[in-house]
Structure 1
Amino acid sequence: MGDTLTTDTAQTALPPAPGADRYRSLEFADTAATLPAGQSYDLLAAPESAMRWLAAHGLTTPDVQLYEVCAQRMRTLRAHVRALFAARVDATTPPEESLHAVNEALTAVPTAPLLAWDGAQGLRRIQAHPTDRAVSHALAALAADAADLLTGPDAGILAACGSAPCDRFLLRTHGRRHWCSTRCGDRARAARAYARRSGAPG
C-alpha cells in the first residue's frame, strides 16, 4: 500500500535527529518533514502508521486499536508542539493556542503513576492505561516531554535544521551546526560551495 511504503521509506531515509534519543517529543515533532524536490512524509498520516510509531516509542501497546480520530489528535498536538519549538528557536512569543493545546494534553489524564490497593499486594503505584484512554496517555507523555525540553537546560540548544527545505528540529551538538542529518549537512555544504563558485567573479 502506498502510504505504508512512503512512511517506511522515510524512516530508513532519515535517521532520528540529534537529541531525539533524549526527547521523544523531538522525534514526535519530526514525524512530518519536508524533503528536497517537493517530497515530504508524515509518519502519522494513517492510523496504522501512527499506531506503529506509538508502540515503537513505548507509548502504548501494539494491540491497541487506533482510529483516524486518534491519528488526527496526534497530528494536531504535533502541529502545536512544532509551533512551540519554532517560537523557542526564533525567540518569538509562542502561539496562545499552542500553549493551551499542550496544557490541555498535560491535564487530560494523570501522568504520574496512581496509588492503588489490592488484597494480594497492598498499596502500590500503577500506571493506569485503560484502552479507551491510551492515546490520551500517550499525548500527555509527549506534552510533558515537550514541556521539559522547552523549560529545561537543553532549551538553548534546540534548533531547526538549517538545510532548506528540511523543517525538522534537533538539538545542536557541535557548535553552530544546525543539520538534522548527514544528508542535510552535505546538501547545505554543496549549496554553499555552489553559491561561492557562482558568485566568485562578482
Structure 2
Amino acid sequence: MSNIPLPPAPGSDTHVSLALADSVVSLPGGQSVDELADPAAATSWLVDHDLVPAETVLLEYCQQRLTGLRRHLREVFAAAVEDRAPESGAVDALNSALRQVPSAEMLEYTPELGFHRETAHPLTQLVEHALARISDDAAALLTGEDARLLDACQAPSCDRFFVRTHARRRWCSTRCGDRVRAARAYEKKRVSAS
C-alpha cells in the first residue's frame, strides 16, 4: 500500500458513495492506496465523512462490511458507466444495507432543542446506519441528475469513478490527465525520432 495522497475525484465531495468507491485506487507501477486498509483506517474514513461520531472504534468485522459495500458500489458504478447489468447480488447488497436501518425519524425532546425529529440508532448500529446512508446516496446518484455524468477515469491504471464536471472531461484528476498527455507526447516524440 502506498500513502500517496490523491486529490478527491469530482463528485466525491457531494456523494459519499463515490468517495467510498474511490477509497481504494490502483496507481501506476502496481501500487495501490486503500483508505480502509484496517479497522483504524476504516474508522477514520467514517469519522472524516461524518458518518459516525469521533469516539467510534470499529472492529475488523465492521471494516469488512464496509469494504464489502465498497466492492458492491464499484460494481454498480462500473455497470452504470459501461451501460450493462450489474453482477448478481450487487444491487441486493445495497438494498440490504438500506433495509437495516429504520428510515422514519423519531420524535425527540430535549431542553436545549425542544421537540425535534432525528434518526435514532443505538451505538451498536452505527455501522448499519453508515452503510444505509452510503447506499442511499448511491441509489440517489444512480437515479438522479448526476447519473448521466458518472464516469470512470480513462487514464491507464487508474480505476476511480467521478462525476464529469464538463462533457469533455475523461480523467478523475489533473494528475491523471497530465500523465496521459505526457505519455502521448512521449510516444509522439519516440515515433518521430524513429
Say yes or no: TM over 0.5: yes
CA distance in structure 1 between the aligned counterparts of 2:168 and 2:45, rounded to whole angstroms: 30
TM-score by length of 1: 0.88
Which aligned pairs between 1:1-202 and structure 2 lie closer than 5 A? 6=2, 9-10=3-4, 13-116=5-108, 124-200=116-192
Q: Structure 1 residue runs of 4+, over 6 Å off?
A: 117-122
The alpha carbon displacement at 1:113 in A equals 2.3
Alignment check: 8 A CA contact 1:170 1:178 kept: no
Task: Give the match's secondary structure for 2:145.
Answer: coil
Count of aligned positions: 194
Q: Which digits, 9 at most, give the CA deviation of each residue in 1:67-108, with x for residues without a partner?
A: 000000000000000000000000011123000000000111
**Unaligned ranges ≥5, structure 1:** none
Which one-letter code corresponds to 1:188 in the other structure? V
Task: Give the match's secondary structure for 1:33.
Answer: strand
Q: Which digits, 9 at most, give the CA deviation of each residue in 1:104-145, with x for residues without a partner?
A: 001111244223468998753122131110000000000000
CA distance in structure 2 between the aligned counterparts of 1:188 and 1:78, rounded to whole angstroms: 27
Q: CA RMSD in A?
A: 2.2
CA distance in structure 2 between the aligned counterparts of 1:24 and 1:176, rounded to whole angstroms: 24
TM-score by length of 2: 0.92
The alpha carbon displacement at 1:65 in A equals 1.8
The alpha carbon displacement at 1:23 in A equals 0.7
CA distance in structure 2 between the aligned counterparts of 1:199 and 1:80, rounded to whole angstroms: 42
CA distance in structure 1 between the aligned counterparts of 2:112 and 2:55, rounded to whole angstroms: 28
Change in Cα spacing, 1:121 to 1:27, as seen in structure 2 (3 Å) is closer
Identity fraction in percent? 48
Change in Cα spacing, 1:195 to 1:111, as seen in structure 2 (3 Å) is farther
Which one-letter code corresponds to 2:156 in the other structure? A
CA distance in structure 2 between the aligned counterparts of 1:171 and 1:195, rounded to whole angstroms: 29
